[in-house]
Amino acid sequence: MMKNGKLIGFLSFFLMIGVCFWACSESEREKPEHTHNWGAWTVTVPATCIDDGEETRVCALDASHIETRIFSSPNAHEWQWAAKISPTITADGEDAGVCTLNASHTTTRTAYAIGTIGLAYQLIDNNTAYSVSKGTVNSGEVFIPAFRLYNGEYLPVKEISKQAFFFSYYSMSGFTSISFAKNSQLTSIGSDAFYYARLTEITLPEGITSIGKSAFGYCVGLTQITLPDSLTSIGETAFFQCYSLTDITLPKGLTSVGSRAFDSCTSLTEITLPEGITSINGAFQYCTGLTEIILPEGITSIDYAFTGCTGLTQVTLPESITSINGAFQYCTGLTEIILPEGLTSIGQYAFMDCTGLTEITLPEGITTIGDYTFNGCTSLSEIILPEGITTIGDYTFYGCTSLSEIILPGSITSIGESTFYGCTGLTQIILPGSISFIGRSAFRDCTQLTKITILAVTPPLLQDIYGNKSIYVFQNTSPDLAIKVPAASYAAYIQADGWSDYWQRISGM
Ligand SMILES: [Zn+2]
Ligand SMILES: [Zn+2]
């Protein structure tokens, strides 16, 4: 009995808790008796140009249902501006503003310097900014303002237009100075903007990120230009033929230097490319005064970058470089170059006409040497080609008159057209057994070539690009030229197309 009584008491306790819980929840869950039918919002506290207002709406079904919300003034202040201190061409002034909604509200704003009178402005970016150009100004000093009024409000002057200050080379007038407001809003300089301008110095304001194509082309009097840290891109031929430019510091954030950007800047003596640059094409060609170049680790391509830089005497290339097509052609002062280990191909024209180059060591890993690569390197006396090279291009060693020794590795399969044409210092050469093709005129005019040893068992194909069997491969070599071939292949050689023309010189070994 006692046991049962306890159990009943226990259950009742839980039942009571359950009922209470249900009842409480039900009261909180009270549903509205209708869906509100709200009337329109009515302003109860009007907004001013300073303070928010308040508005309410009432339910049509039960007027005790009211909602309230805050709203901001749609107008804020409505300023009417009047000059307090008038701006000048170069100096900011100040405007005083009075609110047309409440005359007790007053303020001031900067009245921005107006810039050189006569400049022309064009609205850009959906009428949110301006681009500036010379307008009726044709000479003298120019001041570019930071802002310009549009319907009473200041819009930033963000661009210098394409050909903005371009003028004829033959004109005796011209712009002598271009300066910028200290709070300049410029972000870009259009193509040809200062082409032919007679500027001597210019400091570009912080904020500019790009300089367009040929922007300072033929600014022959420009000795100094200061570039902002914000600059990321220099367009192609941007400083083409700025003969007087003696030095330029490229900002750290620069990531793009266009093709031939500094072509023929003959007074530049040294250049350091920042870390972000990964490729330059023709950028410094014909900078004949350049004696030192510092290239960043990370740059991979310098194609035609230093063509005709006759003042360069030695160059060290970073390990990251993989492409050097035409990079140092006509660098007649170059005596020493250290090539990076990772280079796999010495591209076409890379050292063409480097007449001062006496020796070059090619890194292991090179597999191809391009067309014209060492063409006209008249001082090159020795070159060691590493094992692994398979192809030597056309005209690669054409006219290398000092070349007395060349060792071809056992990996070479092909010698291109005119590859050793005119190598008058070459007296003997060994062609490895791997060679299967020799291009037209490959050893033509090697007037001292007296002995050529061919290890190939099968006579290499002597052929030009049209498939003609070449008869010029050994044209005008030494009258004493002896062609040594494997004894067992003698018969094959003297009968093979092309080779049969030289049958009298061929002998087995
Ligand atoms: Zn209601
Ligand atoms: Zn106001």
Report domain extents, the chain. 79-110, 366-509
96-128 pLDDT per residue, tens: 999 988 899 999 999 999 999 999 999 999 999
Residues 69 and 92: beta-carbon distance below 8 Å: no
Instruction: State in Å: Cα 48 to ligand 2 middle.
Output: 7
- Average pLDDT of span 142-152: 96
| pLDDT at site 30 | 55
Please report which helix (H) or strand (E) contains residue 223, including its range: none
Residue where the block lists tokens 């009097």: 221
Give Cα separations from 374 to 41, 347, 408, 416, 441 (angstroms): 86, 10, 15, 13, 17
Nearest ligand to the C-alpha atom of residue 76: 2
Instruction: State in Å: Cα 31 to ligand 1 middle.
Output: 12
Instruction: State in Å: Cα 73 to ligand 2 middle.
Output: 10
Instruction: State in Å: Cα 496 to ligand 1 middle.
Output: 108
- Grouping H, G, I as helix, E, B as strand and the rest as coil, residue 2 is helix
Helix locations, 137-200, DSSP H: none
Please report which helix (H) or strand (E) contains residue 15, including its range: helix 2-28
Residues 425 and 403: beta-carbon distance below 8 Å: yes
Amino acid sitting at position 306: F
Give me the count of residues in the chain: 509
Instruction: State in Å: Cα 67 to ligand 2 middle.
Output: 28
Query: Cα 223 to chain center, whole Å?
Result: 24
Nearest ligand to the C-alpha atom of residue 59: 1
Tokens matching residue 301 = 């391509």
Instruction: State in Å: Cα 332 to ligand 2 middle.
Output: 74
Decide: pTM greater than 0.85: no
| Distance from C-alpha of 472 to C-alpha of 217, rounded to nearest angstrom | 47
Tokens matching residue 172 = 């005796």
Q: What is the CATH number of domain 366-509?
A: 3.80.10.10
313-366 pLDDT per residue, tens: 989 899 999 999 999 999 999 998 889 988 988 999 999 999 999 988 899 889
Nearest ligand to the C-alpha atom of residue 36: 1
| Cα angle for residues 413, 415, 421 (degrees, 5° grid) | 165
CB burial of residue 381 (10 Å; 0-12, 13-18, 19+): middle
CB atoms within 10 A of CB 58: 17
Under 8 Å CB-to-CB from 243, ≥6 apart: which residues?
220, 264, 265, 266, 267
Instruction: State in Å: Cα 20 to ligand 1 middle.
Output: 30
Which is more confident, 136 or 468?
Answer: 136
Mean pLDDT of the chain: 90
| pLDDT at site 11 | 43
